[in-house]
Structure 1
Amino acid sequence: MADFRGRVVTNDELQQFRQQLARYEDHQLGIFYKYFRDDLHYIISSLDTQSVLRELNFRHCVSVEHYQAIKKQCGASVFAEMLVEDIQASGRDAVLGLWESLFALQNDHPHPNLLGVLDELSQTGHCLERNVMLDKCGPDLHPDLKACRLQHREDLLQKTQYLVEHRAPGLTTESQSFSITERYLDLIVVSSQHFRSRPQHELIVTGGIHEHYLQRAQSNLERISPNRLFRWCHRKRCVPQAVLVSGVPGVGKTTLMQKFVYDWANGNLYQRFAFVFSFKFRDLSNKEELSLAQMIVDEYPYLHSQLERILQNPKHLLFIFDGLDESKDQIDLKQNQLCTNPRSMQTVSAIVSSLVRQSLLPGCSVLITSRPTRLATVETSVFNRISEIMGFFPKEREKYFLHFFRDYTMGEKAFHYVRENGMLYTFCYIPSYCWIICTVLSMCFRAQRANSAQTVEFLPKTVTQLYASFISNILANHCQAGTIDKNFLISIGRMAEYGVNSRILSFTKEDLDGFSVDASSHLATSFVMESGQPPHVSYSFLHLTIQEFMAALGYYLDYSPEGLQKALEEAKSTEDGRGEIFLRFISGLSDSSTRSLLKPYVGDLSAPAAKHVISFLQKSIPNLNSQNPDNRKVLNVFACLTESRNKVLVSSSIGLNRQLDFRDFYLAPLDCTVLAFILESCRETELLDLGACFIQTEGLERISAALHTVTDVRLANNNLRDEDVQCIYSILTHPQCRIQRLSLRNNGLTELSCLPLALAVSENTSLRDLDLSKNKLAGEDFYKLLEVLSAPMCRIERLALQEAKLTPQYAASLLCLTNNPNLTHLNISSNFFGDAGYPHIKEFILIHPSLKEIRVGLNDFSEATEGNLQQLQTRRPDVAIIL
């Protein structure tokens, strides 16, 4: 992220910035403040609170104590919103003070959103008011064009005002639609250059980095709301005309585009564009050649009479092309054959490339969406801004469940179940995945209500069980009308596998015929959706993961040892990870209880196929004791074992490896869920090193259920925060806790962590070694932690408090540690005790009865004091005093 490194802001630059702002009148400052309000909320909530308040206090804008209390009580988001509103209400001087503070903060906090806002204000300040008003009111148009635009807006509003919640036939009577303003939920969109080579399945890798992206202040990634897509781009130093938005299947690309068009048509977004034209690559795929003018008129026939006039002002036009990955033809954005005439006959690839590269309608804007994997083969340097949709914020996940069930109690119950199941919850950043799981849980709950005397027999615990439940409910509906055609399921499974291996999401009628899939059958419409108009019709599965599940299911419906072995080997060897979900599904179906979900509709699934898969998994388990095991391959196998729910296999195969070392390897929350299952199956792991694995809140929660089974747990360098210590508390106070050594070294813990840590240590009976080094523990609550560590009954033998921000005032309190008869090793190096703290440290060394080693170096001691400490060695030869 070299583009976003900080720079040294000089006093001259600050003065120049101040003078620039001072030239604006109050109403202009008000316009800018409103324009940047959402950005300011996000930036202030992302930056270090103390730094922001320090700068504002220096300029006499706020009371530090007041807003510190707000932050502590209400959190970063509420704090930021209140601060921004209060400053605006305080008048011109406070507003100028905020801008100056932010300008100064870029020295130490070069957050890309901060740099982008300051850059936009500086670079476009002289014309920013005009641009804001243009986005609000739009350009002046000829009366005929105004009437045409009004008709166009009405047409787009009609097409975009409702979100359709598709349901597979048989699950409900019909699809339902809802107002987009009521049901649309915010998605995380960030700047990104992260496609190209993806060694993992895109759903898995995106789910993996999702939690990382949520750590906004640390991730140093630019968050881009829809109203920023065509605003000043700090990275490229321009107002972008070509924008790319990527995202995994089902994450909400099309819905985001629908909301974008709706907001434009409603007059709430980017009125600088007089006309917005939205197309789907899937619908364009069947057109060999056409002109841009024909493309527009085919989609919007009412524009025919005014099209010539519309195209005369390209800078007022926006073209949206949704679903690059659904185009049958390769779109070559670097091709040499570009066109300049909107009426010349060209391929879709030539038209799109010519628009993006500004040879056709120079000055126009273009917005394209695509799956990340398709972009590995596309020249993306032609885009001014590249963004990636990361899916739902955590709060939006819960809102989705509440919206789906329309019953608060039921929605809360469903969300709580999923929240407690890490395997299911991890993928809930994807809206379409939320839809599948809500669909399944709603059926489980309905079954429970229908038979209230019994509890729900089966709620999905793994992703495979979720999809098996989903498919079984589809098949249950068809069983009422007659028997299920097993051959159809085998055929559609083979077609699904062909699509997975060939990266095909959209199938033609020829594809279906080639695999003997009758598109007209009612059962077919339960699995695939039809789009387009005859004769140009295409078919796609309800979701990519359903396609991957059906591919796996086919091998249990029609077992062939040779075919299954070949499929397993090919899926395992794929370099881009496209076989990973398939492998997890085929592993999950080896579990008899999972297969039993489908038995009423298709009979017994192949037990020999299950044994074949288990044998394959057993042979695939890597040697964890090898010198450099491939951690990604290890976790992929672990994930398959987790889906199989085969604890006996895990215990017999992995249980022999008493040490698991993932140090310096990024672990996603899903990986942590997988590791929890492995640890629960083994039960006697001696060492789990998760140092520098970027374990965050969600990841820690996922693995916490099993950490108590490990003897030595290392969580150093993970940027854990005070709120995560409650999870640590639950681990240490587990009745069967085996942890003897715990390292929380170099995390983001402060004095707020001291009290829960004190309670945990006092209740735990196994812990002997505790490393709290390189955390900012100094504060009033630190004394409470020392009190527990000093108790005669405390079992801690090794205690590390290196670089804990301890000053001379804490030296006297350390003496109480002499009451702990078990303490043998103490590390208090790299603090700030200085010569003032020496007398207490000296006394501690001389009187502690069981001390064997103390590290006291780098504590601002004078040479004389260091000499005195060395001389103490003669008086306590049994204690190693390490400077």
Structure 2
Amino acid sequence: MCTQIFKEETGITLGTMYCFVHLSIQEFIAALYAHLFLEINKKYVFDQDSTEQENKSETMIDLLKTAVDKALESDNGHLDLFLRFLLGLTLQSNQRLLQGLLTHKYRNEQSKEEIVQYIKQKLESNLSPERSINLFYCLNELNDQTLVEDIQTHLSKGSLSSADLSPAQWSALVFVLLTSEEELEEFELQKFKKSDECLIRLLPVIKTSKRALLNDCGLTDKSCPALASVLGSDTNLKELNMNNNNLQDSGVKLLCTGLKNINCKLETLSLKNNCITEGGCHVLAAALNSNPSNLTELDLSENKLGNPGMKIISTLLENVQCKLEKLKLNCISITDEGCAALASAFNSNLRELDLSRNQIGNSGVTEISSLLRNSQTLQILRSEFG
């Protein structure tokens, strides 16, 4: 059995060392030690001023509350698993399984309810998603499912799009979605609440999804720093649909901090009808040119790009690393001048191009005809010539 628990390593100067193969064993032993230390010394193991504890006999509830606080203070979550084990040790059902390890039985149901309420109070504060999710695992250890069951009722009724949730309920919703047995292929914001706040609250769920449908939700630039952090992290996200919102140039600039990150693996980006102008287009093109190898579909339709914006977007098509296959630019107010810029820059893998609902005249038709003759890849062209 020990060969499955310990791993032996031999160092040059330190000699033979042993470490745990699975760190959960270490965390369990640490929790057991904290439990026994309290029984023997009537004090808990966390460092505190000695005069503060000198004449004070600590109780189990003191230890549990302090452990919760310490875990919440941690930036990297190094006490999360320890806390779950420590809480689990207080349950009578687990104590029966650990007879011989625990010399004293902890049977105070009132104290159990007290720590449950203490954790729920913490969930009402503005915790990070990681810390709040761990607290729900802690409630699981204590066999309390009330918050989760409440959210599951909302989900079954489909009432979350109109519900005003408390911080604890938002955290419960994230926990339920992340711990679902089904892999989350698609996240649709309209099923919940159409707001920047809802998007930010549910960011951990978006991070684990492959497709994020955030269209028609009245989103502004307030959402963009959070989304940029997701795009620049290790995420499953491949498709981001933000059509028909109000990001404007300020939002696009914030979003681009994630798009230009080398970790960004986004393949489809839809920004239709977001009040983007030449300024936002310039930043977007720069970001995509710096990280061009993954994006295959881009939709900038119904924005105020004009011919200057078209010239900027054309620089993407000149980039030999650009993998764009579908580009939608309908109703962006380009004329023959924009078509000339597009045709002169066109050297790409583009298979589908949408230029419909623009002001393209005879000169533009000539430029597009030249583009069709010279392109080896273009298969679909949508346009309306005036």
Please give the range of the TM-score, normalised by the shorter of the 2 chains.
Answer: 0.5 to 0.7
1:761 corresponding residue in structure 2: 288
Maintained 8 Å contact 1:815/1:843: yes
1:70 corresponding residue in structure 2: none
Amino acid at match of 1:557: E
Counterpart selection for 1:622 from 149, 155, 180: 155
Within 2, Cα distance between the matches of 1:832 and 1:776? Answer: 13
1:805 corresponding residue in structure 2: 333
1:720 corresponding residue in structure 2: 247
2:358 corresponding residue in structure 1: 831
Q: Secondary structure at the match of 2:376?
A: coil
Maintained 8 Å contact 2:123/2:132: no
Within 1, Cα distance between the matches of 2:361 and 2:307? Answer: 18
Note the C-alpha offset of 1:676: 0.7
Given the superposition, is the C-alpha separation of residues 609 and 786 from structure 1 closer, same or farther in structure 2, using an over 3 Å criterion?
A: same
Q: Cα deviations across residues 260-314 of structure 1 (Å, max 9, x unaligned)?
A: xxxxxxxxxxxxxxxxxxxxxxxxxxxxxxxxxxxxxxxxxxxxxxxxxxxxxxx
1:211 corresponding residue in structure 2: none
Q: Secondary structure at the match of 2:240?
A: strand
Maintained 8 Å contact 2:239/2:269: yes
Note the C-alpha offset of 1:693: 0.4
Counterpart selection for 2:144 from 611, 614, 620: 611
- 1:140-289 pair list within 5 angstroms: none
Q: Secondary structure at the match of 1:611?
A: coil
- 1:348-427 pair list within 5 angstroms: none
Within 1, Cα distance between the matches of 2:179 and 2:368? Answer: 51
Aligned length: 274
- TM-score normalised by L of structure 2: 0.60
Note the C-alpha offset of 1:750: 0.5
Within 2, Cα distance between the matches of 1:801 and 1:615? Answer: 44
**Who wins on radius of gyration, i.e. which is larger?**
1
Counterpart selection for 1:669 from 182, 189, 196: 196
Note the C-alpha offset of 1:804: 0.8
Within 1, Cα distance between the matches of 2:134 and 2:178? Answer: 19
Q: Cα deviations across residues 130-155 of structure 1 (Å, max 9, x unaligned)?
A: xxxxxxxxxxxxxxxxxxxxxxxxxx
Q: Secondary structure at the match of 1:557?
A: helix
Q: Secondary structure at the match of 1:622?
A: helix
**1:787 corresponds to 2:315:** yes
- 1:422-461 pair list within 5 angstroms: 459=73
1:688 corresponding residue in structure 2: 212
Given the superposition, is the C-alpha separation of residues 634 and 613 from structure 1 closer, same or farther in structure 2, using an over 3 Å criterion?
A: same
Counterpart selection for 1:585 from 124, 136, 147: 124
Within 2, Cα distance between the matches of 1:719 and 1:672? Answer: 14
Where structure 2 has 5 or more consecutive residues not aligned to the other structure, the ranges are 1-69, 76-109
1:819 corresponding residue in structure 2: 347
- 1:482-497 pair list within 5 angstroms: none
Within 2, Cα distance between the matches of 1:771 and 1:846? Answer: 24
Within 1, Cα distance between the matches of 2:140 and 2:227? Answer: 32
**1:640 corresponds to 2:169:** yes
Note the C-alpha offset of 1:689: 1.1
1:119 corresponding residue in structure 2: none
Q: Cα deviations across residues 157-178 of structure 1 (Å, max 9, x unaligned)?
A: xxxxxxxxxxxxxxxxxxxxxx
Maintained 8 Å contact 1:787/1:816: no
2:101 corresponding residue in structure 1: none
Within 1, Cα distance between the matches of 2:121 and 2:148? Answer: 17
Maintained 8 Å contact 2:330/2:357: yes
Q: Secondary structure at the match of 1:653?
A: coil
- 1:132-143 pair list within 5 angstroms: none
1:705 corresponding residue in structure 2: 229
Given the superposition, is the C-alpha separation of residues 762 and 554 from structure 1 closer, same or farther in structure 2, using an over 3 Å criterion?
A: farther
Maintained 8 Å contact 1:818/1:847: no
Within 2, Cα distance between the matches of 1:610 and 1:673? Answer: 29
Maintained 8 Å contact 1:741/1:768: yes
Maintained 8 Å contact 1:790/1:816: no
Maintained 8 Å contact 1:664/1:691: no
Q: Secondary structure at the match of 2:311?
A: helix
Q: Secondary structure at the match of 1:832?
A: coil
Amino acid at match of 1:767: L
Q: Cα deviations across residues 608-650 of structure 1 (Å, max 9, x unaligned)?
A: 6563347636844736xxxx9444268949963636985xx64
Note the C-alpha offset of 1:592: 9.3
**1:679 corresponds to 2:211:** no
Amino acid at match of 1:740: E
Note the C-alpha offset of 1:585: 3.1
Note the C-alpha offset of 1:819: 0.9
Within 2, Cα distance between the matches of 1:594 and 1:768? Answer: 40
Within 2, Cα distance between the matches of 1:801 and 1:716? Answer: 13
Maintained 8 Å contact 1:769/1:796: yes
Q: Secondary structure at the match of 2:368?
A: helix
Given the superposition, is the C-alpha separation of residues 760 and 827 from structure 1 closer, same or farther in structure 2, using an over 3 Å criterion?
A: same
Amino acid at match of 1:801: L
What do you get for the CA RMSD once the two structures are aligned?
Answer: 4.1
Amino acid at match of 1:616: E
Amino acid at match of 1:686: K
Note the C-alpha offset of 1:797: 0.4
2:31 corresponding residue in structure 1: none
Maintained 8 Å contact 2:124/2:168: no
Given the superposition, is the C-alpha separation of residues 808 and 738 from structure 1 closer, same or farther in structure 2, using an over 3 Å criterion?
A: same
Within 1, Cα distance between the matches of 2:139 and 2:354? Answer: 60
Q: Cα deviations across residues 311-345 of structure 1 (Å, max 9, x unaligned)?
A: xxxxxxxxxxxxxxxxxxxxxxxxxxxxxxxxxxx
**1:776 corresponds to 2:315:** no
Where structure 1 has 5 or more consecutive residues not aligned to the other structure, the ranges are 1-455, 462-552, 561-580, 596-604, 861-883
1:743 corresponding residue in structure 2: 270
Within 2, Cα distance between the matches of 1:663 and 1:644? Answer: 15
Maintained 8 Å contact 1:672/1:700: no
2:57 corresponding residue in structure 1: none
Q: Secondary structure at the match of 1:833?
A: coil
Amino acid at match of 2:230: A
Q: Secondary structure at the match of 1:785?
A: helix
Amino acid at match of 1:784: I
Q: Cα deviations across residues 17-59 of structure 1 (Å, max 9, x unaligned)?
A: xxxxxxxxxxxxxxxxxxxxxxxxxxxxxxxxxxxxxxxxxxx
**1:729 corresponds to 2:253:** no
Maintained 8 Å contact 1:639/1:671: no
Note the C-alpha offset of 1:737: 1.8
Given the superposition, is the C-alpha separation of residues 725 and 675 from structure 1 closer, same or farther in structure 2, using an over 3 Å criterion?
A: same
Note the C-alpha offset of 1:733: 2.0
Note the C-alpha offset of 1:606: 7.9
Q: Secondary structure at the match of 2:327?
A: strand
**1:841 corresponds to 2:368:** yes
Maintained 8 Å contact 1:776/1:805: yes
Maintained 8 Å contact 1:556/1:606: no
Within 2, Cα distance between the matches of 1:800 and 1:613? Answer: 47
Amino acid at match of 2:114: L
* Matched-pair identity in %: 20
Given the superposition, is the C-alpha separation of residues 630 and 612 from structure 1 closer, same or farther in structure 2, using an over 3 Å criterion?
A: closer
Within 1, Cα distance between the matches of 2:143 and 2:191? Answer: 35
Amino acid at match of 2:220: Q
Within 1, Cα distance between the matches of 2:174 and 2:263? Answer: 22
Maintained 8 Å contact 1:676/1:704: no
Amino acid at match of 1:721: Q
Given the superposition, is the C-alpha separation of residues 718 and 559 from structure 1 closer, same or farther in structure 2, using an over 3 Å criterion?
A: closer
Amino acid at match of 2:145: H
Note the C-alpha offset of 1:722: 0.9
Amino acid at match of 1:810: G
Q: Cα deviations across residues 684-728 of structure 1 (Å, max 9, x unaligned)?
A: x22211111011111232343225632111111112111111222
